[in-house]
Amino acid sequence: METKQNIHELMIDVGKAAKKALTELAVVHTNKKNQALKESAKAIRSAKEFLKEANSTDFKEARQKGLSGSMLDRLLLDESRIEAMAKGLEDIAKLKDPVGTILAEWKRPNGLHIQRVCVPLGVIGIIYESRPNVTADAGGLSLKSGNTAILRGGSESFNSSKVIAECLQQGLRKANLPTTAIQLVPTRDRAAVGEMLKMSDLIDIIVPRGGKSLTQKIQTESRVPVIAHLDGNCHVYIDRAADTQMAVNIVCNSKMRRPGICGATESLVVDKPIAKKTLPNIIDALISAGCEVRGDHKTQMLDSRVRPATEEDWDTEYLDAIISIKQVNGVDEAIEHINTHGSHHTDSIVTKNSSTAQMFLEKIDSAIVLHNASTQFADGGEFGMGAEIGISTGRLHARGPVGVEQLTTFKYVVHGEGQVRS
């Protein structure tokens, strides 16, 4: 067992190596980064048997420790998941490299030519649960955006993640890039996470990827800026001017396509004048699809299978086949309700009235607002932004899907001919 002091020194070394590698990664040509990504994919495919073996060690230990079924499922790597990781890296290689893009440029009256140029964020610390595939995703996204990564996965996935990280490093080596551009924290000791959160000189940003409790703990404790995904308490609002069939389709898809993802709708808000017409169909469709429906008093009156919703329900992200239904008087009350109880992630309005839609889209204070579309589109891939490291519910820097572009910042490059300031 490492001592606290040892872990401190170990992590400082990891951080320094990441900072050093950054000077090369930040300015390297896209081709080299893509080569590393493709070679990493190859290495993962070649290491398949070895990786399955490491994963089976992890899996057995985790089962002995009594991990829950869904956690065990996330930990497991099978043939198709290993192939998906390799394919994911190849897909990242196909994305446009944001680094070096001139985001804006203009000339000043004194002749100075100013450019705002996209550059990597720096050293990114990514802290996640025992999902070994995140090692490949997060490492690949960081690499493509010119950042160096310090990856800290859940301790139950340590052996699997180690093999994956070695594959990524082999890719880096083949492309003649420093292998320290992607480092896995070399200890299972949780003290290492505490160290990362304090390393504001060596880590530029922390990205937690996991459940709300992990994320909240990191946000509270970190001295390094955090880009975080908190909960996705998403809503669909059915306005009085909604098309009934469209409302049924959108609600069922928003809730039941995959109830466990962050863009799944947790709460349905219905305009009173249309409730009697649309809600019976919606409730019936949801219950037929296996969803538990909870509702306010008026909604319970419409169908005896609706269970009572409490105040707590409005604030709850079920991540499960459960939905709460609230009736309101018009779009203003809907906006008030959603802004108060939602989590500023993704909310949708169903209406044929474009001025009501406009009001909703403008006043709902969420990263993603939709008109006549399912909340399950809240996803970097669906947005055409490629792979993402999460959906940010914060307002600073990145909001919504965090893909390669969101893992960058910019600097100002100024070209002069000897100008001095008067």
Distance CA 38, CA 117 (A): 27
Who contacts 312 (Cβ-Cβ below 8 Å, separation ≥6)?
none
Distance CA 234, CA 263 (A): 6
319 binds a second copy (CB under 8 A): no
414 binds a second copy (CB under 8 A): yes
Distance CA 299, CA 274 (A): 12
> Would you give the binding string for a second copy spanning residues 130-169, x where CB under 8 A is met?
----------------------------------------
Asked if residues 247 and 282 have their Cβ atoms less than 8 Å apart, the reply is yes
382 binds a second copy (CB under 8 A): yes
Q: How many CB atoms lie within 10 A of CB 419?
A: 12
Q: Which stretch binds a second copy (CB under 8 A): 2-10, 75-83, 180-188, 217-225?
A: 217-225
Judged by CB under 8 A, the residue of 25, 325, 368, 387 near a second copy is: 368
Q: Which stretch binds a second copy (CB under 8 A): 84-92, 287-295, 313-321, 369-377?
A: 369-377
**Size of interface with a second copy, in residues (CB under 8 A):** 64
Question: 388 exposed, middle or buried (CB, 10 Å; 0-12, 13-18, 19+)?
Answer: buried
Distance CA 160, CA 176 (A): 25
Residue 166: which H helix or E strand, with range? helix 158-174
Residue 185: which H helix or E strand, with range? none
Residue 172 φ/ψ region, left for φ over 0, alpha for ψ in the -120 to 50 degree band, beta for the rest: alpha
73 binds a second copy (CB under 8 A): no
Q: Which stretch binds a second copy (CB under 8 A): 35-43, 155-163, 307-315, 365-373?
A: 365-373
Q: Which stretch binds a second copy (CB under 8 A): 30-38, 68-76, 113-121, 128-136?
A: 113-121
301 binds a second copy (CB under 8 A): no
Nearest to 37 by CA among 243, 164, 175: 175
Q: Which stretch binds a second copy (CB under 8 A): 10-18, 84-92, 177-185, 372-380?
A: 372-380
Nearest to 89 by CA among 126, 49, 144, 51: 144
Residue corresponding to tokens 């996965």: 153
* Residues in 9-38 that interact with a second copy by CB under 8 A: 23, 26-27
Distance CA 180, CA 416 (A): 37
108 binds a second copy (CB under 8 A): yes
Q: Which stretch binds a second copy (CB under 8 A): 65-73, 168-176, 309-317, 375-383?
A: 375-383
Asked if residues 78 and 132 have their Cβ atoms less than 8 Å apart, the reply is no
Asked if residues 160 and 51 have their Cβ atoms less than 8 Å apart, the reply is yes
Judged by CB under 8 A, the residue of 25, 163, 370, 389 near a second copy is: 370
Residue corresponding to tokens 């399955």: 52
In angstroms, what is the minimal distance from the CB of 252 to a second copy? 8
In angstroms, what is the minimal distance from the CB of 257 to a second copy? 6
213 binds a second copy (CB under 8 A): no
Residue 314: which H helix or E strand, with range? helix 311-314
399 binds a second copy (CB under 8 A): yes
Asked if residues 12 and 202 have their Cβ atoms less than 8 Å apart, the reply is yes
Q: Are strands 322-328 and 292-295 parallel, antiparallel or unpaired?
A: parallel
Judged by CB under 8 A, the residue of 56, 179, 244, 372 near a second copy is: 372
Single-letter residue type at 216: Q
Tell me, what DSSP letter sits at residue 90?
Answer: H
8 binds a second copy (CB under 8 A): no
Q: Which stretch binds a second copy (CB under 8 A): 8-16, 61-69, 248-256, 314-322?
A: 248-256
In angstroms, what is the minimal distance from the CB of 184 to a second copy? 23
* Residues in 224-243 that interact with a second copy by CB under 8 A: 225, 227, 243
Judged by CB under 8 A, the residue of 5, 106, 213, 304 near a second copy is: 106
In angstroms, what is the minimal distance from the CB of 8 to a second copy? 18
96 binds a second copy (CB under 8 A): no
Q: Which residues bind a second copy (CB under 8 A)?
A: 23, 26-27, 106, 108, 112, 114, 119, 121-122, 200, 204-205, 219-220, 223, 225, 227, 243, 246, 249-250, 252-254, 257, 339, 361-363, 365-374, 376-377, 382-384, 394-397, 399-400, 409-421
